[in-house]
Chain A
Amino acid sequence: MIHFAWNRIKNRKFVSVTIVFAFLSVFLLIPIGIQNTKETKLTVQNSIAEHGRGSYDLLIRPKTSRTNIEKEVGIVEENYIGDSQGGISIEEWQQLKSNPEIEVAAPVASIGYFTGKRLSVDLPQFNQSTRFIWEFYTTDGLNNYSLNKPQSLIYFKESQPGMIQFLKDLNLGETASGAMMEIMIPSTYHLLAAIDSESEQKLANIDFSQLENEIDPAELQGIQNNFRNVPIIKVIQRKDMHVPLSLKLKAETLDIDLSEYRTKLGLSEQDWLMSSEEAIRKKTITELNQKKAITSVEHDIDLSSFQSPFNSTPVQINEQFKPLKASKFAANRAETSVYFIAHKLKYEESDEAFNVNIVEDGSPPSYKDIEKRGKNLYEPQNVPYLLEQVGTFSAERNEKKELSSSPLGIYSTTNIKTAQGQLLKATTIPGSFIPQAAGALISMESAEMIKGPKPIDAIRIRVAGIDEYNSKAQEKIETVAIDLLKSGYEVDIVAGSSFVNQTLNVEGIGKVIAPWTTLGVAQELEENWNQLTFITTILFVAFAFVWFIARLSFEKNILKNEDDLLSIIGWQRKQIVKRNYAEQYFLLITAYLISLILIPLLPLDLNSYIFTTIILLSGLLIISIVFSIKNKQKKRFMAYKRASSILYYRNILIPTMVVLFVSTILLIIQLSSIGDGIVNARKSTLGQFTVDVTMWFQISILISSFILSALGLSECLHVLFQYRSTEIKMYQIIGWTKTRIFHHLGKEVFLWTTISIFAGIITAFVVLLILKYSIFWITISIAISSILLCCLVVGVTIKKILISPSTIFKDKNI
């Protein structure tokens, strides 16, 4: 038996080597493909474990706080702190804090947009009388917005130290002195938020201890003298944040005489011009504004670096129009108790972008509905509180956390850019569409003073006992989330979220790209990769199984005549079957042994040995089953009218068609999975990261899939043409040229390959639709796979018929 099997192998060297090579490919490519898939999944899991968890896990909010955008699309803006409605009390927060499953419960309350003390800009005193015309403006990075109508100040050169002679209009609350010639910086508004220092520090790793500082004694004295026992709210402001503010200053020299204008104002020689009556002063200023200038220079002076949210730096403009820190300044705290609540932006969904429209025109325009609250010092009622800065804090972004996002972090300086790449900034008014980071912080107790008994807008929870973000961690987070839901809160699982670029159509600016946050992207990523792993494994195993069966069916059909002959000469069926087994066993085991030698040379782990052994054992079992099934072919007398060769050779063609069918499905699904997975993953920064670290694995899986398909298919086609070599020789004998033979057989090949590929396309299409893959990627992968497989089939057919046709006449001339 072994003798006959070995002889058959030896006398069909080329075929035997081809079969061994094909078996070997299956033994190696399948473990490679599956291992790469597992490593991809592991890399993704590790990436998510390392980068998927932000600074906190759960976001607790009052019931009605969820926006429409969140409800519909599941994404939120970064730094989105809501509209300061509050809803959670300090007692409720403290209850949550005492929960042993919760490591950190950090409350945050949006108080509103406040302004700090207004400080002065000291103007330069030149040798000549000068008319200064100034205009403050802010910018959003694209457009400039004027913050005041151009105003003027006229300086007289005859000024003396301590008695600077100038004329200007005084706005409400402004004062003037002869010691300096100043203009007041306009109010700029910044988000004030309230935190609990201890829990916030644990969450954000920022030092907020300065919130406990004492108020400067001199300031305190001044406040108490002027405002008696008004409550003072301690504020720490963000020191690494600046306000976009510039001054357009025009200086025009005038030919004017101090004494002349003293007379006009009804003042004596020792009088200070600003002590004049307001009405006459205004009239004089109007006259002086109309005087023709001798020279004129204009400068744009950037004051941004001097402007912090709540405690600006007083500025002096020198004679070169450069801003410097001023030692003398005026301050006005009249507006510090007035604040604005900005309601939520109203987004309109359209195609792939959200529209943001101007709500109120102005300079700058407002994109939010604004509500004014509080009192200023000019109002008759007493102010309920005053804000006083006692310290600073700095919130530098942790680079590691860039991949994951924690919405309501309140610290991010968002990188919002136009579609052309220009960086945009929040303006100095509360109505900017760009979410502001908190410019200053107060305590929760102070928030209660301003907002009432339920000041907290959200509580950020970090669940206890989690070291890395894996499936166990996800389960624990979900358990805590469910408990909190039952308590009546709005709960979002933030762990696993990541940044995603959202396009906004902003009225007056155009297309803008903003980093928003998708919730639960890590879970989605992991699910997608799990699905891909599962699909790939199934497809690889299915392909190996189908190809094995096809290969063995071939052999069985080829052996049929031999088997009949052996039966005629007296062999028992058992003996014939054993001879056939022996040959296949030998080839399969040879391939297995070679693969054992090659596995250590390849980047494969120990599991590959297990895999190849399983393939071997399965192969041996399949061989035993296939060869022991008796052929029950009914002898046919009549020729088929159509597709006669396809129907006649169907026993050989069907295995090839099945291999082609499975190859088509394998390639289409693999390509679609990878393409669709990559596109979806790239929508978030965490996803982008996982795509980048797993790209090589994806490519190698795809290459493995294609090589497996190509080898399996070409081997089937090779054997098919080999089986019909006599027919091909006959065509040559009767005088057909190679081209004619190619056309004749090509029609047949075209027909059954089209049927197989088409069936594979339909099956893959239905499967992918059920799995909800994008039509785009399904179409692309169908096109690519079909082209590759058709090229393969055509290539093998051309090679077999045109390039190296077999003949009974072993001569090069034929």
Chain B
Amino acid sequence: MIEIKNLKKTYSYLSSEIVILNNISLAIDDGQWCSIIGPSGTGKTTFLNCIAGLLSPEEGDVLYEKKNIYKMKEKARNTYRKLNIGFIFQDFKLLPHYSVLDNVVLPLYYDEAKNNLYRRATDLLNQVGIKEHLFNRLPESLSGGEKQRVAIARALIANPKVLICDEPTGSLDSDNRNKILHILSELKDSGLTILLVTHDEEVAFKGDVTYRLNNGKLEEVRGNKL
């Protein structure tokens, strides 16, 4: 369960302050797919980063299983992020010099026995539909859809409870988009909590609940999908 309470985030520009997130409160249940939509520049990514513990707000709290992540020390926060949150980005953020398989194992490379880790990575890649002959390829040689699937596999290697997706289909064609959404649906059905940010309403409405971020405020657009 993720709780956001009275979150406020501002940016300074020249001598003035711009309020990006204005007193936002939100509760995300376990296993829920929560989408956030809004035009570019409204603060969606900022909101995600605050929830992930990457950007501290001026005011407000982010509680994960009743623990305030901004009251943790940096090391604890890093551990929280590593073990509980998986990330997927619009531009995939795969390291260009590592193979597909190495990119997947990267989060736990120093924390687990290599044999076990690579075996799980292989399973995950199979799960997301990446064929074995691509395992030792550089990410640059993959298609957009394949890259995003690798990114999903990487995000899942630590068995996170939450998956944060920042425009995961933004760089993909419709076919690949659907494939990714299908994977996300399956993950949600398996009990993963998904927090997805997009400007695409069709993608957003795949989730259980959709909020619109506008002028720093969050408004619910739709309730549970029936």
Contacts and interface: CB of A to CB of B under 8 A. Distances in A.
B55 A644 contact: no
Given A740-B110, A809-B49, A644 B99 contact: yes
Contact of B99 (A639, A734, A737): A639
B54 A639 contact: no
Interface string B69-109: 00000110011011100010000010111111010001100
Contact of A735 (B49, B55, B81, B136): B81
Interface string A735-751: 11100100010000000
Interface in B152-194: 154, 158
A735 B79 contact: yes
Interface string A628-652: 0000000111111000110111000
Contact of A644 (B56, B97, B107): B97
Interface stretch (A155-163, A355-363, A654-662, A725-733): A725-733
A260 interface: no
Contacts of A733: 52, 54, 81, 87, 93
B93 A730 contact: yes
Interface residues of A, number: 26
Nearest to B75: A737
Nearest to A640: B97
B54 A638 contact: no
A219 interface: no
B86 to A, nearest CB: 9
B122 to A, nearest CB: 15
A639 B138 contact: yes
Contact of B83 (A647, A732, A735, A744): A735
Contacts of A637: 137-138, 141
Interface string B118-157: 0000000000000000001110110000000000001000
Given A637-B141, A639-B98, A639-B137, A734 B82 contact: yes
A661 B111 CA distance: 36
Given A734-B107, A735-B78, A814 B55 contact: yes
A791 to B, nearest CB: 26
B10 to A, nearest CB: 12
B98 A644 contact: yes
Contacts of A727: 95
Contacts of A649: 97
Contacts of B110: 740, 744
B109 to A, nearest CB: 8
A645 B97 contact: yes
Contacts of B141: 635-637
Given A635-B140, A636-B138, A809-B49, A814 B54 contact: yes
B75 A639 contact: no
B141 to A, nearest CB: 4
A639 B137 CA distance: 5
A811 interface: yes
A654 to B, nearest CB: 15
A351 B55 CA distance: 72
Contacts of B56: 811, 813
B78 to A, nearest CB: 5
A635 B97 CA distance: 12
A737 B138 contact: no
B55 A734 contact: no
B99 A735 contact: no
A408 B138 CA distance: 81
A768 B113 CA distance: 48
Given A638-B138, A733-B87, A734-B107, A811 B55 contact: yes
Q: What is the size category of the interface that chain B forms with chain A?
A: 20 to 34
Contacts of B52: 733
B48 to A, nearest CB: 11
A811 B141 CA distance: 34
A647 B95 CA distance: 14
Nearest to B97: A648
Interface in A419-456: none
Given A635-B140, A734-B87, A648 B54 contact: no
Interface in A605-644: 635-640, 644
A66 to B, nearest CB: 71
A734 B158 CA distance: 10
Contacts of A735: 78-79, 81-83, 107, 158
Interface string B1-41: 00000000000000000000000000000000000000000
A735 B74 CA distance: 10
Contacts of A638: 99, 136-138
Contacts of A639: 97-100, 102, 136-138
A337 B218 CA distance: 128
A771 B158 CA distance: 60
A814 to B, nearest CB: 6
Contacts of B102: 639, 644
Nearest to B107: A734
Contacts of B78: 732, 735-737
B151 to A, nearest CB: 11
A50 B108 CA distance: 74
Given A638-B138, A644-B99, A809 B55 contact: yes
A636 B139 CA distance: 10
A730 B100 CA distance: 15
A737 B54 CA distance: 13
Contacts of A814: 54-55
Nearest to A740: B110
B55 A730 contact: no
A740 B107 CA distance: 11
Nearest to A811: B55
Contacts of B100: 639
Nearest to B95: A727
Contacts of B79: 735
A315 to B, nearest CB: 96
A520 to B, nearest CB: 60
A280 to B, nearest CB: 115
Given A734-B87, A735-B83, A648 B137 contact: no
Contacts of A636: 138, 141
A392 B98 CA distance: 95
A645 B95 CA distance: 9
A586 B106 CA distance: 42
A730 B92 CA distance: 11
A648 B52 CA distance: 31
A724 B154 CA distance: 20
A43 B75 CA distance: 61
A809 B138 contact: no
Contacts of A640: 97
Contacts of B81: 733-735
Contacts of A726: 93
A730 B139 CA distance: 15
B82 A648 contact: no
A147 B74 CA distance: 93
A802 to B, nearest CB: 13
Nearest to B135: A639
Contact of A730 (B49, B82, B95): B95
B13 to A, nearest CB: 12
B35 to A, nearest CB: 21
A740 B74 CA distance: 13
Given A638-B137, A639-B138, A734-B82, A648 B106 contact: no
A639 B79 CA distance: 29
**List of 10 A-B pairs having minimum Cβ-Cβ separation, nearest first:** A735-B82, A648-B97, A639-B99, A734-B107, A813-B56, A637-B141, A735-B81, A645-B97, A809-B55, A735-B78
Given A648-B138, A813-B56, 20 more contacts: A635-B140, A636-B141, A639-B99, A640-B97, A648-B97, A649-B97, A727-B95, A730-B95, A732-B54, A732-B78, A733-B87, A733-B93, A734-B81, A734-B82, A735-B81, A737-B78, A809-B55, A811-B55, A814-B54, A814-B55
7 contacts: A639-B99, A639-B137, A639-B138, A649-B97, A734-B82, A809-B49, A813-B55
Interface of A: 635-640, 644-645, 647-649, 726-727, 730, 732-737, 740, 744, 809, 811, 813-814
